[in-house]
Amino acid sequence: MRQRLIVFLFCLLLPIAGWTQKQHVDAIRRVLLDPAGRVLVAAHRAEHHRYPENSLKAIQAAIDLGVDIVEIDVKVSKDGVPFLMHDKTMDRTTNGKGDPEELTWSELQKFVIIDKGKRTALKIPSLEEALGVAEGKILVDLDLKTDRIESILKVIRKTETKDIVFFFDSDYAILSAIHKADPDFMIMPRAHRYTETDSAIVLFDPPVVHIDESFYSPETIQLIKESYARAWINALGQPDDDIRKGKEKRALKKLLEHGASIIQTDEPEKVMKALAENGWEQ
C-alpha cells in the first residue's frame, strides 16, 4: 500500500516538475529576447577555470555560478555524432592526435580530455549530453566548428532544445541553411563592420549580433537596437586581463560604454560580481 502511494505521488509531481522547468526555460529565453533587459554574461567554453573547457562539468559549473549563457564549440564525428571541441585537431585537449572529425564516435570515446597539460578521466562529451545538462537552466551559444549542420539540427530537434540554443558563425551560408531549415532557430551572426551588421539584420532578423571592438560605436548599437536585438561583445583578451588584475570597473565601463548588452568572458564569476556591484546588471 505504501509503495503504491509513493508511486501515485510521484506520478502527480512529475508533470508539475516538468511544467516548472518549462516555465524556467521560457524565462531564460525572455531575458535574451528583451534587448532592453539587463546585461547578460556568457562563459567562454563554459566555466573552464574549475573544469576542462567544453566539458560537461564546466557547463554545470557555469550553471551553478548563475551564468546566463554558456558558449560551447561543436564539431561532428565521421559517423554523424556532434561533440564538443574547439581546435581543428584534438592534440591540445585530448590524448589523441589529428582531426577529430575524421574519426567515428566510438573511436573518439577511446580518448580522454587533457586539461592544462594534465590527463583527466573525462571523455569527450556529445552535444546531446551537453544539452541534457543545460536544458531548462542556461542558454547555449553553439559556436559552429563544422559545416555538417544537419547532424547538429537533428540533435536540437531530438532534445527539443531550440528554445535555449542559438547558432554562432561568421559563415552566412551556413547560418542561412540553418535559418532555412527552421526560421524559429535563433541565429547570432558575426559582423566585422557596420555595413555587415546591417546585412546580417536583414538576412536573419537575429536576436543577437556579434560585433567587434573595431566598429563598436553608438551608430552600430543604434542599428542593432532598432531591430530589437542585442549586441554581443567579447571581453576575451585585454579586458579579461584587466578584470583578472582587479580593474573590473574600468574594463566593464569600456565594454558597456556604447550599449552592448552581452559580454562573453573567460572570467564569468568576476564579471557577474562586478556588474552587480556597479549596478550594471539591471
Q: Concatenated DSSP letters for 123-142?
A: PPPBHHHHHHHHTTT-EEEE
- Using CA atoms, how far residue 9 sits from 1, 3, 19, 45, in Å, is 12, 10, 16, 40
The predicted pLDDT at position 14 comes to 44
Kindly give the interhelix angle for 149-159 and 172-181, rounded to the nearest 10 degrees: 40
Residue 19 has pLDDT above 80, yes or no: no
Residue 171 has pLDDT above 70, yes or no: yes
Domain positions in the chain are: 2-50+60-74+139-277
CB 154 within 8 Å of CB 160: no
For cell 554523424, the residue is: 80
Q: Mean pLDDT lowest for which of 5-14, 130-139, 145-154? A: 5-14
Class of domain 2-50+60-74+139-277: alpha beta
Distance separating alpha carbons of residues 119 and 78, to the nearest angstrom: 25
Distance separating alpha carbons of residues 234 and 214, to the nearest angstrom: 12
Q: Mean pLDDT lowest for which of 9-13, 72-76, 82-86, 271-275? A: 9-13
Amino acid at 250: R
C-beta atoms surrounding 159 within 10 Å: 18
Please report which confidence band the pLDDT of residue 30 belongs to, taking 50, 70 and 90 as the band edges. Answer: confident
What does DSSP say about strands 186-189 and 208-210: parallel, antiparallel, or unpaired? unpaired
pTM of the model: 0.89
CB 128 within 8 Å of CB 111: no
Helix (H) or strand (E) holding 26: helix 2-32
**Residue closest to 48 by CA, chosen among 96, 86, 89:** 86
Distance separating alpha carbons of residues 163 and 92, to the nearest angstrom: 32
Residue that wins the pLDDT comparison between 120 and 33: 120
